[in-house]
């Protein structure tokens, strides 16, 4: 689950031994870091534009890509920007390094990785990144449970997006039964080809 306190508190209150079962997964934590890094970029871009420098103009999506997914046409410009002393470059690097956290094998390795990453994030002088890092530290026990349970809700998030796509395509639904039927028809894994 994500780090939303009311949801966490409700789960702990209603699920037996929930505090050892909850996993704050890679998707939500990565999303928080991406949003923080983007806010750093926006703030820095505004400051640079006031001085007549437009180096960060049109780079929003470039910074949101993972290196492995960066389109070929963006790589040269991205390498040039990344090598400069922009706050955005620092925020991107902190975000990128945290992705390696999930490759650890044990809780102990994860703790040590987090300790090093957290020190870097807190010393970054980037308030948005520091805020996210502190939030991660406050929830560290349930971030580390990933190494015990090895589960995420990526499949569920994907399904939620597909359901949202159905709603958008239909311009909403007037009847709940029709909504259920469409979900089952489009997402229920039916073999629609006569065999």
- How far is 79 from 104, CA to CA, in rounded Å? 27
Q: What is the pLDDT of residue 31?
A: 92
Q: Is residue 193 part of a domain?
A: no
Rg (CA), the chain: 21
42-75 pLDDT per residue, tens: 999 999 999 998 888 888 888 887 778 888 887 8
171 and 130 assigned to the same domain = no
108-163 pLDDT per residue, tens: 999 999 999 999 999 999 999 999 999 999 999 999 999 998 877 766 677 778 88
Q: Is the pTM of this model over 0.75?
A: yes
Query: How many structural domains comprise the chain?
Result: 2
Q: Is residue 195 part of a domain?
A: no
What the block records as the tokens of 181 is 């039927």
Q: Output DSSP code: residue 194.
A: -
Q: Is residue 91 part of a domain?
A: yes
Q: What is the pLDDT of residue 155?
A: 66
- How far is 143 from 2, CA to CA, in rounded Å? 10
- How far is 137 from 134, CA to CA, in rounded Å? 5
Q: Is residue 192 part of a domain?
A: no
pLDDT band of residue 175 (cuts 50, 70, 90) is: confident
- How far is 81 from 89, CA to CA, in rounded Å? 7
161 and 135 assigned to the same domain = no
Domain coverage including residue 136: 5-149
20 and 50 assigned to the same domain = yes
113 and 160 assigned to the same domain = no
Q: Is residue 145 part of a domain?
A: yes
140 and 178 assigned to the same domain = no
């Amino acid at each position: 689950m994500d780090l939303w306190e009311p949801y966490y508190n409700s789960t702990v209150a209603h699920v037996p031994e929930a505090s050892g079962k909850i996993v704050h997964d890679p998707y939500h934590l990565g999303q928080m870091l991406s949003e923080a890094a983007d806010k750093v970029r926006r703030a820095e871009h505004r400051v640079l534009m006031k001085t007549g420098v437009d180096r960060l103009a049109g780079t929003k999506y470039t910074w949101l890509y993972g290196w492995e997914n960066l389109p070929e046409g963006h790589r040269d410009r991205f390498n040039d920007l990344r090598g400069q002393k922009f706050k955005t470059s620092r925020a991107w690097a902190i975000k990128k390094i945290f992705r390696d956290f999930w490759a650890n094998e044990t809780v102990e390795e994860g703790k040590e990785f987090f300790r090093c990453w957290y020190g870097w994030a807190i010393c970054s002088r980037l308030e948005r990144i520091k805020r996210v890092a502190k939030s991660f530290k406050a929830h560290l026990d349930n971030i580390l449970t990933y190494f015990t349970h090895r589960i995420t809700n990526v499949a569920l998030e994907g399904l939620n997006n597909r359901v949202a796509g159905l709603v958008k395509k239909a311009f909403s639904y007037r009847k709940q039964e029709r909504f259920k039927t469409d979900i089952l028809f489009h997402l229920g894994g039916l073999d629609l080809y006569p065999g």
